[in-house]
Amino acid sequence: MRRTTRAVTAAAFAAGIGLVAAAPAQAAMEIYDISDATRIAEGAALEGTYTVTCTAGTDVFVSLTVTQRVSDGRIANGSYFEQWTCEGGEVTLDYQTVAYNMAFDEGPAVVSGFIQECQPLTQPCGPGTNLPLVVIQVAD
């Protein structure tokens, strides 16, 4: 009897694992198509767009930082943060960042950032994803 119980338990466990493995994968959250930036007020700020794919009903957090080497090796930088509830699929959003210490110049800049997708009312939210560095062009 003991062997039968173990065999039935093992078979049920294996079948359960098969069901879990066969479940559809959840859509991956992703940020991409970070556009080049346009200078505002002679470089006091920048604006551009980015695209995100996310799962409907989740809370999405995006943080972007734009960093640029300007004259004499000095650094211009600014940050952007946005939070919203995803309606599912793909969405294109605007980013705007104000220069902290130096005005942005025309030319190349680097965007770094972080994205996190959370189930509502779930704490803690869980790990997010650091974005790879993206080189953009800043223009008037």
* Residue boundaries of the structural domains of the chain: 30-139
Q: Which of 43, 62, 50, 41 is nearest to 114 (CA)?
A: 62
> What is the mean pLDDT of the segment spanning 52-73?
93
* Token pair for 102: 């130096």
Query: pTM, whole model, 2 decimals?
Result: 0.76
Q: Which of 130, 107, 3, 89 is nearest to 46 (CA)?
A: 107
pLDDT at 119: 87
* Token pair for 12: 């049920």
**91-135: pLDDT as tens digits:** 999 999 999 999 999 999 999 999 999 988 777 787 889 999 999
**5-59: pLDDT as tens digits:** 333 334 433 444 343 333 333 446 888 899 999 999 999 999 999 999 999 999 9
What class, spelled out in words, does domain 30-139 have in CATH?
Answer: mainly beta
